[in-house]
Amino acid sequence: MVKVKICGVTSADDALRAVEYGADALGFNFYPPSPRYIPPEQAARILGELPAGMCTAGLFVNETRQHVKSVLRTCRSGGSAGLTAVQFHGDEARDYCARWPLKVIKAFRVRDEQTLGEIGEYPVDYYLLDSWSPGYGGSGATFAWEWLTAPMARPVILAGGLDVGNVSEAVRELKPFGVDVCSGVEAAPGRKDHQRMKDFIAAAKAE
């Protein structure tokens, strides 16, 4: 069954509801320009309330290794078990993505079919395919799924413009390892609409 990741979590209430509804992973955005940015101290408090074994990913964009390690340490404070994965959403090189003690997700912003052909093989655990947009934020739009004609080097997490209206089709047609949603289940940036979130997870897992 497809895995569902709810990204851009900023409150314990949203996090716990996502877990209740069957989410497999939660994402915390540590990219300061994003409207969904969460301070590491706040993320640590939320992580401390989650059930053991929950997959939790920290999203970073073109940060130094030192800064990422500092955030990871902060997220382990206050009794929290910390994050279980890092997600690199910028222009990070292959060497940068290697040798992390956690699971690694590398995001790629798909501008055209050629983008997919140029990805090749990164030393990571998962590829997250998002639609291209200026800057490094999510566009809230899909890319052309028909570009995904060849197997990728790593399991694929599909993102970009997914919502309850199209996630079933995406899972049925592409059979990704997982799907990632943010704005498609929001009432406002960083604040989840619980009914949309519940319906999205149910729709994704129905396939």
The yes-or-no verdict on residue 140 having pLDDT over 90 is no
Choose the catalytic residue: 14, 24, 75, 130.
Answer: 130
Amino acid at position 94, single letter: R
Catalytic residue list contains 14 = no
Task: Supply φ then ψ for residue 59, to 5 degrees.
Answer: -95, 130
Do 10 and 34 contact (CB within 8 A), yes or no?
Answer: no
Average pLDDT of the residues in 111-118:
84
Domains of the chain in sequence order = 3-205 (3.20.20.70)
CA dist., res. 138 & res. 185, Å (int): 13
The yes-or-no verdict on residue 7 having pLDDT over 80 is yes
Q: Which residue has the higher pLDDT, 25 or 136?
A: 25
pLDDT, averaged across the chain? 94
Choose the catalytic residue: 7, 24, 75, 182.
Answer: 7
pLDDT band at 207 (very low <50, low <70, confident <90, very high): confident
**pLDDT tens figures, 31-74:** 999 999 999 999 999 999 999 999 999 999 999 999 999 999 99
pLDDT band at 88 (very low <50, low <70, confident <90, very high): very high
Catalytic residue list contains 193 = no
Average pLDDT of the residues in 7-21:
98
Identify the pLDDT of residue 137: 61
**pLDDT tens figures, 180-205:** 999 999 999 999 999 999 999 999 99
Do 54 and 103 contact (CB within 8 A), yes or no?
Answer: no
